[in-house]
Amino acid sequence: MIGIVDYGAGNLASVRNAFARLDRQAAIIRQPGEIEGCDLIVLPGVGSFQRAMAALHEGGWADPLLAFARSGRPLLGVCLGMQLLFEGGDEHGPTAGLGLIGGRVTLMTPSAPLKVPHVGWNSLEHVREHPLFSGVKHHVDFYFVHSYHCLPNDAADVVARCDYGGAFVAAVARANVAGTQFHPEKSQPSGLGILENFAAWDPPC
């Protein structure tokens, strides 16, 4: 089963509905103890890095999520959920993240006249092959809503980039942990393709 984590900062219904369209069993989980019964986990997110991490800690989600990731089962962070996978973020002050991927999350600084937040459709450049992008065409548009972006320490963790007044990281993956800065659940057929690939993903331990 695919578990969608409800920690009070996620876009839950649209993610669940996207999996339903794919005939994939997915459930919103509201208690940290439910994580252990899942085969795959989606960590969605909207809002600020600092508040989302506070919600994960206060709700008792952080340690079970880390244990799940360390078990080798697939974990996908979406939008803010991707950012939370990193070691830390700068929004509203320095805040430690889950630390599953090395690097930090910082404010976007696109060249003029572009402003933040970055909202709307933008095309991806695939940096390397990855099972989540199997069958997904290059340079297809995906839907973004964000003001902060991820700066991985290791370039090998980058799967796709995008340009918005400068290049930024649009997707990452390390072992069984992956993230998309865009919203696959809102990105029409290509986004559904990524969710279908995630549901079928069997990363090496």
Residues acting as catalytic residues = 79, 183, 185
Backbone angles phi, psi at 126, to 5 degrees: -75, 120
Nearest residue to 180 via CA among 136, 204, 165:
136
Pick left, alpha or beta for residue 164 (phi over 0 → left; psi -120 to 50 → alpha; otherwise beta). beta
d(CA 53, CA 128): 29
Residue 11 CA, distance from chain mean position: 12
| 12: amino acid identity, one letter | L
